[in-house]
Amino acid sequence: MNIVIPSENTQMQSIIEKVRHGQRLSLEDGVFLYQSDDLLTIGQLANEVAMRKNGKKVYFIENMSLYFTNVCEAHCAFCNFRKDEGQEGAYTLSGQQMIEYVEQHFHPGVREFHIVGGHNPHVPFQYYVDSLAALKQRFPEVTLKAYTAAEIDFFSRISGLSYKEVLQELMKVGLESLTGGGAEILSDQYRKKMRVDKADVSQYLDVHRTAHQLGLRTHTTMLYGSIETKEERIRHMMHVRELQDETNGFLVFIPLSMQPINPRAGIRRRNSAFEDLKTIAISRLMLDNIQHIKAYFINIGVQLTQVALTMGASDAHGTIVKEKISHAAGALTPEGITREDLIWLIKGAGRIPVERDTFYNEIKVYE
């Protein structure tokens, strides 16, 4: 496949040569790509890489997002989901209450529970263990993809257990994978400015390293579009890439487009479509050792997700049912989507929809 718009720029030519020869891109290459306005060349290059890795297949899953509690001790500047104990709208569900919620929305095709929540210091670590145990007992066939690395770090603090011990306790009751959240931007300077008063960069990476050593395959994210520099975004990707070199434990990288706190915020308060597509494409080019880049329709919308499938993304996420965190922060997108709509969306981009499980095993190919 040829690049349609040849770039006169020698650095772009050098990047094209590197990508085509399977050579790793540098920090300087990544920053250059962010500075370039040649989205078509960047997108086509990312598409070449995605096709090389996955062919025309684009993956999705039937999943449900669950949130046991929104009470949180952290006060991250970008979060509109958290509440203080006793504040209006604050809640902490028991395992039985969550089962009742799931039963109202469940259907037999659901393969994964995606479970995240606040860092609630008013309940013991055992509460978080029991929450998973209750779900696994009632829905044994559904994979538990639960908690962020930041939550695991929080559990370690409140329980006095090591990361390994925390993960082992959770694995005993059915934990099979970690969610990718809590990464935000992997820069200590950024975390200080944005009051990310939870796991720092090394702790986030260390939780995933420990999970991988225990045999868990995990997901990882990057929340972009606030105060971070383009260099910090590339360094974030390089932190992930280095850990993947070490453990090969990440299944997918998920760029998350920052949402404004106010749902009525205008378009200038949001990342542009150009920025969203560029970030997905650059992620595909930088993260040569990760199989999948996800286009997260909750943050970028279903139509932009469809375009992203031609610019490096090979995962269209899942049905979700009722997403809360991005919507609390002003996402304008649907809270969930049907399997039929996901299939239509993927086929509309000239791709082959593949229903998967949490670990990218193929359940059904929709030729």
Inform me whether the pLDDT recorded for 267 exceeds 80: no
Q: Which residues carry a binding-site annotation?
A: 72, 76, 79
Inform me whether the pLDDT recorded for 54 exceeds 60: yes
> Which pair of structure tokens corresponds to residue 54?
């996955």
* pLDDT for the residue numbered 324: 59
Instruction: Using alpha carbons, select from 280, 363, 264 the residue that is nearest to residue 63.
Output: 363
> Which pair of structure tokens corresponds to residue 178?
């970690």
Q: Which residues of 23-59 are buried (b: 16+ CB within 10 A; e: fewer)?
A: eebeeebbbbbbebebbebbbbbbbbbbbebbeebbb
pLDDT single digits (tens) 311-345 = 999 999 887 665 556 666 566 566 667 888 889 99
Inform me whether the pLDDT recorded for 150 exceeds 60: yes
Inform me whether the pLDDT recorded for 261 exceeds 70: no
* pLDDT for the residue numbered 339: 83
pLDDT single digits (tens) 238-256 = 999 999 999 999 999 999 9
Percent of the chain with pLDDT over 70: 91
Instruction: Using alpha carbons, select from 99, 159, 168, 163 the residue that is nearest to residue 124.
Output: 159
* pLDDT for the residue numbered 185: 97
pLDDT single digits (tens) 101-143 = 999 989 888 999 999 999 999 999 999 999 999 999 999 999 9
Cα torsion 147, 340, 250, 78: sign: negative
Pairing status of strand 362-365 against strand 250-257? unpaired
How many other β-carbons are positioned within 10 Å of the β-carbon of residue 78? Answer: 18
Angle, CA 86 vertex, CA 256 and CA 74 arms, to 5°: 35
Inform me whether the pLDDT recorded for 24 exceeds 70: yes
- Structure confidence at residue 209 as a pLDDT band (50, 70, 90): very high
Inform me whether the pLDDT recorded for 27 exceeds 70: yes
pLDDT single digits (tens) 344-362 = 999 999 999 999 999 999 9
Residue 246 near residue 47, CB atoms below 8 Å? no
Domain ranges of the chain: 26-365
* pLDDT for the residue numbered 2: 56
CATH class (in words) of the domain with range 26-365: alpha beta
Q: Which residues carry a binding-site annotation for [4Fe-4S] cluster?
A: 72, 76, 79
Instruction: Count the residues in the chain.
Output: 367
What is 158-198 written as a DSSP string?
HH---HHHHHHHHHHTTEEE---TT-S-S-HHHHHHTT--S
- Structure confidence at residue 363 as a pLDDT band (50, 70, 90): very high
Inform me whether the pLDDT recorded for 275 exceeds 60: yes
Minimum mean pLDDT range among 2-16, 50-64, 91-105:
2-16
- Structure confidence at residue 4 as a pLDDT band (50, 70, 90): low
pLDDT single digits (tens) 182-200 = 999 999 999 999 988 899 9
* pLDDT for the residue numbered 332: 58
The strand ranges marked E within the chain are 57-61, 63-66, 112-115, 143-146, 175-177, 218-224, 250-257, 292-293, 315-318, 352-356, 362-365
> Which pair of structure tokens corresponds to residue 82?
């958290």
* pLDDT for the residue numbered 80: 82
* pLDDT for the residue numbered 233: 98
Inform me whether the pLDDT recorded for 6 exceeds 90: no
Q: Tell me the pTM.
A: 0.93
- Structure confidence at residue 75 as a pLDDT band (50, 70, 90): confident
